[in-house]
């Protein structure tokens, strides 16, 4: 049975788009999925069941979240196998080891090309670094994320797609949860 990792964008941030994780778990379970688990309060779900494409599942969850919970939120879906590949492809292994809370993976709704990422890197004014292509970016924020000018809004505007970021610790925990479901 497939295992999915769902990442919600922009919920429970600054008191906006509030969703209780119990409500989110109940919603996904009511749609016929099983083993529904959440991680933290920022919209990280792991569940199994069904055989939908990532895009079809994203659409279903976005529509039902708006309808049943009254919150408009983007979902970005990855399989456990995809998340394993994301972790294996990390171009910043030393940062993952030494400072995992300042290394993030930005999961994108649609793919960015290598040229898109190169152009994005040229916009960096601080100590940040960005790598990646396709539907994942790896970003290092050595001076911290909160004060950086290399923001999600800047990234999304320049790539023409939406995304949501998770720090390295969270990415690894999500893979562990997904892998546990497949045992």
Structural domains present in the chain = 3-82 (3.30.70.1280), 83-168 (3.30.70)
| pLDDT score of 136 | 96
Between the CA atoms of 160, 105, 88 and 102, what dihedral angle is there, to the nearest 10 degrees? Answer: 140
Q: What is the mean pLDDT of residues 36-50?
A: 88
Q: Which residues of 29-49 are buried (b: 16+ CB within 10 A; e: fewer)?
A: eebebebbbbbeebbbbbbbb
In three-state secondary structure terms, 131 is: strand
Report pLDDT for 102: 97
Percent of the chain with pLDDT over 70: 97
Grade residue 10 by pLDDT with cuts at 50, 70 and 90. Answer: confident
| Mean pLDDT (whole number) for 73-77 | 94
Q: Is the pLDDT of residue 140 over 70?
A: yes
Specify the pLDDT at position 133: 86
Measured between alpha carbons, how far is 130 from 124 in angstroms, rounded to an integer? 9
Please state the pTM of the whole predicted model: 0.93
Mean pLDDT of 10-38: 86
Please check the confidence at residue 14 and state whether its pLDDT lies above 70: no
At residue 157, the pLDDT reads 95
């Amino acid at each position: 049975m497939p295992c999915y990792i769902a990442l919600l964008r922009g919920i429970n941030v600054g008191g906006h788009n509030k969703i209780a994780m119990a409500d989110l778990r109940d919603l996904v379970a009511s749609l016929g999925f099983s083993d529904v688990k959440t991680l933290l309060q920022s919209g990280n779900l792991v569940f199994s069941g069904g055989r939908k494409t990532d895009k079809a599942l994203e659409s279903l969850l976005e529509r039902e979240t708006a309808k049943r919970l009254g919150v408009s939120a983007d979902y970005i879906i990855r399989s456990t196998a995809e998340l394993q590949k994301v972790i294996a492809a990390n171009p910043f292994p030393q940062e993952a080891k030494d400072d995992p809370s300042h290394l993030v993976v930005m999961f994108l709704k649609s793919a960015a090309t290598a040229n898109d990422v190169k152009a994005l890197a040229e916009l960096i004014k601080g100590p940040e670094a960005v790598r990646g292509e396709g539907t994942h970016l790896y970003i290092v924020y050595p001076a911290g994320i909160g004060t950086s000018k290399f923001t999600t809004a800047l990234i999304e505007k320049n790539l023409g797609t939406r995304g949501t970021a998770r720090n390295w610790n969270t990415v690894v925990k999500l893979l562990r949860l997904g892998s546990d479901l497949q045992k």
